[in-house]
Structure formats: C-alpha cells, structure tokens
Chains A and B, each alone.
Chain A
Amino acid sequence: MSIVIRPLTYNDLSQMPDDGKRYEIIGGELFVTPSPIKKHQKLSGRLYQLLSDQAQAGHGEAYFAPVDVRLAPYDIVQPDLLFILRDRLDIYLPSGVVEGPPDIVVEILSPSTRGIDQIRKAALYARGGVHEYWIADPDAPSLTVYTLRDGLYEAVPAQDRRQPSVVLPDLTFDLDALFAGLEN
C-alpha cells in the first residue's frame, strides 16, 4: 500500500472523530487542539458578550466555536469567536461552513496554541483577508486588536485601558473589566 502525502482539505476533516477536540487544517497540515480550560472558556464568554451586543445593535452576527471557516482549499480553521458584518452574512453557508474571511476573528491563547495563534494563524488570517484579528491571552492577561494594513497586521492601541475596534467603531471596551476575576 502506498501512502500519498498531500495537503489536507475540508473533505478530510469529515473523517476526524467527533471527540470535542478542535481539528483545523492550516497550509494543508492538520492541527489538533485539546478542549480548552475553564479560564479560556470564561474569557471566551465575556468576549462573545461584547460581540453579541454589537450584533444586537444590528451590525452583524457573532458566533462562537465550533464554526468551520474555510479561507482556502487547504486552510480550514475553527476560531474561538468570529464576527461577520451585516452585509456579508451570506458567507456563512447553510451547510455550516463560513466560506471566506470573517470581518473579525478572535483567538484566545492557550499554552498549546500560543505559537500557532501568534505566528501561523496571524499570517493565515492576514493572507486570507480577515480585517481584524484579536489575540487574547488569559495568562498575561492581555488582549491585542490587530487591524489589517497592506497585507500585515498592525496593533490598534488601547487608550487608558479602553480598547477600540476598527471594524466595529461603536465598540470600545474596558480591558480591566474584561480580565477581572478570571482566575476564580
């Protein structure tokens, strides 16, 4: 039997077990991440709340994992959170895949994904045209909002611990409040 070495695609994902782990394909390679820890989930919930409020205000829709986002035939990821602006909601197909870049993608770092989220995924999202990429670090704790400019991400600085968004101009949130009591 010969083994064919080739880049993996969305079809290959359907062969993966339904075991609660996160299965992603980046540059044709498989990445498996264990289920996240409580601190991660808590932060995720808070961030989802912020994005959900913007959805309520009519700007678009917020979704939490697991949602398959296909940025290219060999790049299918499951971000922690994503936001799609109102006029682009049709990129989220009835079949359950988001075909193309969400307007905002949020990744929450865990020890196992730290490097990948900051490097490989940042490169992937930039190349895939995701306008805004949030990286939240529950351990630091910190949150950096990156905006896409000329194919690369630039940090959007917070002012007095208040973090703005470029994609959602109405959104500015308090960083201290975001991380308060996360350990408990």
Chain B
Amino acid sequence: MSLITRPLIYDDLLQMPDDGKRYEIIGGELYVAAAPIRKHQRVSYRLIQQIGGFVDELGPGEVYFAPVDVRLGSTDIVQPDIIFIRNDRLHLYQGSVMDGSPDLIVEILSPSTRSLDLVRKAALYANAGVREYWVADPDALTLTINVLGEGMYDPIAATTRTAHSVLLPGLTIDLDTLFAGLE
C-alpha cells in the first residue's frame, strides 16, 4: 500500500465508507467527524426551522441541511450543517454535489470540530466567496454571523441576545430561544 502524497479530490471521497460519519476534504486533506451529539442536532433543527421558514416564506432561494457535498474547489469538498442558495444559483446544485459556493453556510460547533470550523473553514469559506458564515456554539451559547468583506470575514456577534443576518435582511435569531433547554 502506498502512502498518499497528493492532495485528495472528490473522487477520493467516493471511496469513503458510508458509515454515517462526515467526510470532508479541505486543502487536499481528509477530515472525518463522528455523527454529532444531540445538543448539536437540536440547535441544527431549530436553525433549519428558523432559516428555512424565513426563506420559504419570502422565496429568495432554498435551504438544505447535511449531508450535501459542497465542492468549493478541486481539493475542497465539505459537508456544512446548513446551507442557503439563492434562486439564481440553484443550478449549481445538481445531483448530489453543489459545485460552487452557497450564499450562506451554517456550522454548529462540537468540541472535536471547534478549531476546524473557526479557523480552517472560516478561511476556506471566505476564500470561496461564501457571503455569510454563521457559527453556532451550543456550549458557549453564542451565534456569530460572519459577513464577507474584502476576502475576509467581519464577525458580527449578537447584540444582547439577538443575531441579525445581513444577507437576508429581516432574518433574526433569538439566542435564548435557540439555546433553550439544551442541557
């Protein structure tokens, strides 16, 4: 068996087992995450309801939740927790892969992915032109909305306990409701 000394690509993902784990390639390197814990899934569910509800009512695009393979580049294929794609870009999502950047991505932190989501993925999503990147932290009970500036994210932390989207004006998340009863 030879050692892999080249960046991994989408084709390599197809070789991965179908075992419920999340397999991602970032900068040519493989990242595997175990299925998330209940607290993570609860926050995910609530955010999908809120974002999905808002989007479905106003109709600017569509919301999807994991697992969607998002190919941001030849050596960058991720499975974000939640994505939003504007109507005029929906054609990029064909079959089982989104070939391009979603307009909005949500990642919910878990202890094992914290650093990855806050650093590596933030850099990746910014570079790929994802206009808004939400990071929800079910342990710190925070939701940071990162808005893309000139190739970099400007984090907008929630004021008091409400977070506002810039990409989707009017989409407001109440943090106390979002994180209620998680323990």
Contacts and interface: CB of A to CB of B under 8 A. Distances in A.
Interface of A: 5-9, 26-29, 72-75, 114-115, 118-120, 122-124, 126-127, 150-152
B29 A119 contact: yes
B7 A6 contact: no
B29 to A, nearest CB: 6
Given A7-B119, A115-B5, A127-B76, A122 B28 contact: yes
Contact of B27 (A7, A9, A26, A152): A26
B151 A72 contact: yes
Interface string B19-31: 0000000111100
B7 A27 contact: no
A35 to B, nearest CB: 24
B32 interface: no
A120 B119 contact: no
A127 B74 CA distance: 8
B123 A28 contact: yes
A80 B127 CA distance: 24
A74 B127 contact: yes
Contacts of A118: 5-6
Nearest to B9: A152
Given A5-B114, A151-B73, A74 B152 contact: yes
B28 A123 contact: yes
Q: Is chain B's binding surface mostly helix, strand, loop or mixed?
A: mixed
A56 to B, nearest CB: 34
B122 A6 contact: yes
Given A28-B123, A123-B7, A126-B75, 8 more contacts: A72-B151, A73-B123, A73-B126, A73-B150, A118-B6, A123-B76, A124-B27, A127-B73
A119 B6 contact: yes
Given A73-B126, A119-B7, A28 B28 contact: no
Contacts of B4: 119
Contact of B151 (A8, A73, A123, A151): A73
Question: Which among A72, A75, A127, A151 has the greatest number of chain B C-beta atoms within 10 A?
Answer: A127
Q: Which of A75, A119, A122 has the largest number of chain B CB atoms within 10 A? A: A119
A28 B146 CA distance: 15
Closest 5 CB pairs of A and B: A123-B28, A28-B123, A74-B123, A123-B75, A123-B7
A162 B4 CA distance: 26
A72 B153 CA distance: 13
B49 interface: no
B83 to A, nearest CB: 20
B147 to A, nearest CB: 14
A7 B126 contact: yes
B9 to A, nearest CB: 7
A146 B60 CA distance: 43
Nearest to A7: B123
A85 B153 CA distance: 32
Given A27-B26, A28-B123, A119-B29, A5 B118 contact: yes
